[in-house]
């Protein structure tokens, strides 16, 4: 049951709660460099998620990370990483078309894109807060054994990886029908979006630090509600099956 709930939660979270810096960069790299390069970037993003979740379930399980992650210095580091990658996108060499073939200059290696995806996700404080909220809910509200907890998160993370790879495939398919001019525009737009997100991340954390009484908008609350619903459905299904078995006996 934990595997099924983990898969369902992974599908919902990756489809509706993953629109952030990593999402825009993943789509951009898949369109620009193709499917394999996009997958390399996604592996970096998913690898950082695995490390974050692993640390929170083991070494950092007794630490209160919320105050640390709301520190303006931490927010500045995370926002700066996003801004730097946005600048890299703005400065990316333009795409040219020679006949029917698109020509790319300065194509990065797969491991370089994986490192970019890892850094963009790992140094984003909102990603940590997102996983804190989910792990806290699972630990406090859902009665799972330690083994079942690991099974749930492994299923969730593998599902997110699968959905990410599907996004890479769909995005890469657009390369054949897009003009060089449009691809260059996308690079500029993604660069501006990343810079805007990085600036917003820094400013919002500073505002929250100065005015902690203000409510903070966090999509992780909606994410935990989704998990709660799926878990309640699983419990209801199990109870229904149990009652049917008792009746037949």
Q: Tell me the pLDDT tens digit for each residue of 93-108.
A: 777 766 556 666 667 8
Q: What is the dihedral of CA 106, 112, 113, 116, to 10 degrees?
A: -120
Would you say 107 and 38 are in contact if contact means Cβ atoms under 8 Å apart? no
User: Which DSSP string corresponds to 115-174?
Assistant: HHHHHHHHT-HHHHHHHHHHHHHHHHHS---HHHHHHHHHHHHHHHHHHHHHHHHHHHHG
Segment (H or E) for 202: helix 180-210
Q: Is the pLDDT of residue 195 over 90?
A: yes
pLDDT for residue 187: 86
Predicted structure pTM score: 0.80
Q: How confident is the model at residue 210 (pLDDT cuts 50, 70, 90)?
A: low
247: confidence class by pLDDT, cuts 50, 70, 90 = very low
Average pLDDT over residues 217-245: 55
pLDDT at 111 over 80: yes
Mean pLDDT of 144-153: 86
Of 154 and 32, the structure prediction assigns the larger pLDDT to: 154
Handedness of CA 89, 90, 96, 100 (dihedral sign): positive
**Percentage of the residues of the chain whose pLDDT score is greater than 70:** 79
């Amino acid at each position: 049951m934990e595997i099924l709930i983990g898969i369902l939660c992974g599908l919902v979270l990756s489809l509706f709660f993953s629109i952030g810096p990593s999402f825009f960069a993943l789509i951009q790299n898949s369109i620009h460099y193709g499917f394999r390069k996009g997958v390399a970037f996604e592996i970096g993003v998913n690898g950082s998620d695995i490390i974050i979740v692993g640390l929170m379930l083991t070494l950092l399980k007794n630490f209160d990370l919320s105050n640390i992650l709301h520190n303006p210095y931490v927010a500045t580091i995370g926002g700066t990483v996003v801004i730097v990658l946005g600048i890299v996108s703005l400065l990316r060499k333009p795409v040219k078309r020679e006949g029917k073939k698109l020509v790319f200059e300065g194509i990065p290696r797969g491991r370089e894109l994986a490192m970019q995806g890892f850094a963009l996700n790992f140094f984003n404080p909102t990603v940590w807060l997102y996983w804190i909220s989910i792990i806290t809910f699972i630990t406090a509200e859902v009665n799972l054994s330690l083994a079942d907890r690991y099974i749930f998160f492994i299923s969730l993370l593998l599902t997110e990886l699968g959905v990410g790879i599907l996004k890479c495939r769909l995005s890469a398919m657009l390369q054949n029908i897009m003009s060089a001019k449009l691809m260059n525009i996308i690079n500029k737009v993604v660069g501006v979006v990343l810079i805007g997100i990085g600036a917003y991340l820094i400013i919002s954390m500073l505002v929250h630090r100065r005015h902690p009484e203000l409510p903070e908008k966090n999509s992780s609350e909606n994410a935990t509600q989704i998990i709660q619903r799926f878990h309640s459905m699983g419990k209801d299904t199990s109870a229904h099956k149990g009652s049917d078995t008792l009746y037949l006996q």
